[in-house]
A and B are shown apart, each in its own frame.
Chain A
């Protein structure tokens, strides 16, 4: 292990981890939006609304994220939809994690006791009102942890955007390997930054989870 080298270059990895955080953060936001819309649609009474949401979940959970990313970036170029790697990365990762988040959100909504819906409806609230005022606030507590797990998977999964040359952590490791010929040290350095990001993020999720649970 060449610790001297690691000390000299770690600052570049710290900068690259900001890119990883930025891409992951934006993809998580996109995933949350898609997840909410798709989860509510998949619980709709109308088959026309329900069906596309279910198809979205099935297709994007049933194929590798890497292939989806390549299809978006390289396939998009072929069809004249030119995107910067970073945009393609955020959109590709976001659409992919959105399918997983749909299931987390849907699971939390379904887990709320059915009596709550019935009570809301009995008191004269409309279906939409019952969902918004009664079910969703209770479901929100239940979805913190599953969505946190999805997000951690996304942060780690964001390494795949290095294959379309976005200069995040993994790509930075590659760049330094081609100039230093020290793959082991560089990958370990990248791994340390991923571990820090993931551990801190998981602590944050734990904290939010205990906060919302306290209101019970």
Chain B
């Protein structure tokens, strides 16, 4: 069968619909994964083992198993236990939990990399613990970890393709829909790849801007 790329324009609406939902899904998961990641990082740094250990166990499990499997557990597995989530919600939850664990590791390392002298200096100037963390340690840590967190966000955008496996209508699934109508997998998967690549370039530019902002606040 020869290639025929003229079929792609006929499916523009479907593909753009997919792009829109991939963006919505990814951005939501990115924000959630950052918030959860920060919470996990704080919990890991907590001086109480009762808080520290469960979070450590969670991160071991999430880092040691495939994201696809985690998606299936959240969507199909929890349904068996009586918790019925729609595919989109399940996708967002699995993606953000998975990446939150990695983000937490990055944020924790960033906080620990800040010289303790910074914290001690703030404390000796009469600043409270919380304020010292919020105004002195965290801003410096954030500037250091922004590039690493950016890489996770890029990974998240690509991995969001996996939610097509639980039936979320995003870019990958819309390409599959187009294929089932035209029987042209090569053309449409190539088109989907190109669209993901374009989204990736946009995200990289956005991250570059954010990185520059974060660096300036030092």
Contact = CB atoms under 8 A, between A and B. Distances in A.
Interface of A: 59, 62-68, 70-71, 74-75, 77-80, 156-160, 162-163, 170, 173, 177, 181-184, 187-188, 190-191, 194-195, 198-199
15 contacts: A62-B158, A62-B201, A64-B160, A64-B161, A66-B161, A67-B193, A71-B186, A71-B189, A182-B80, A183-B77, A184-B78, A184-B80, A187-B76, A195-B65, A199-B64
A170 B66 contact: yes
A79 B190 CA distance: 13
Given A156-B67, A184-B81, 16 more contacts: A62-B158, A63-B158, A63-B193, A64-B161, A65-B158, A66-B172, A67-B175, A67-B193, A70-B185, A70-B189, A74-B185, A75-B186, A177-B76, A191-B61, A194-B65, A195-B64
A157 B66 contact: yes
B44 interface: no
B64 A184 contact: no
Nearest to A198: B64
B64 A194 contact: yes
B178 to A, nearest CB: 12
Interface in B176-204: 179, 183-186, 189-190, 192-193, 196-197, 200-201
Nearest to B68: A159
Most buried by B among A59, A74, A158, A188: A74
Contacts of A162: 68
A191 B72 CA distance: 11
A63 B79 CA distance: 31
Interface of B: 1, 3, 60-61, 63-69, 72-73, 76-81, 158-162, 164-165, 172, 175, 179, 183-186, 189-190, 192-193, 196-197, 200-201
A67 B175 CA distance: 10
Most buried by A among B64, B158, B175, B184: B64
A182 B81 CA distance: 10
Nearest to A194: B65
Given A80-B1, A156-B67, A187 B165 contact: no
A216 to B, nearest CB: 24
Nearest to A64: B161
A13 to B, nearest CB: 12
Contacts of A68: 193
A183 B80 contact: yes
B149 to A, nearest CB: 17
B48 to A, nearest CB: 26
Contacts of A191: 61, 65, 69, 73
B26 to A, nearest CB: 11
A62 B73 CA distance: 27
A94 B175 CA distance: 24
Nearest to A193: B65
Contacts of B60: 195
Given A159-B66, A163-B165, A198-B64, A62 B190 contact: no
Nearest to A199: B64
Contacts of A160: 66, 68, 162
Contacts of B65: 156, 191, 194-195, 198
Given A62-B196, A159-B68, A184 B73 contact: yes
Given A62-B197, A66-B161, A190 B69 contact: yes
A74 B69 CA distance: 23
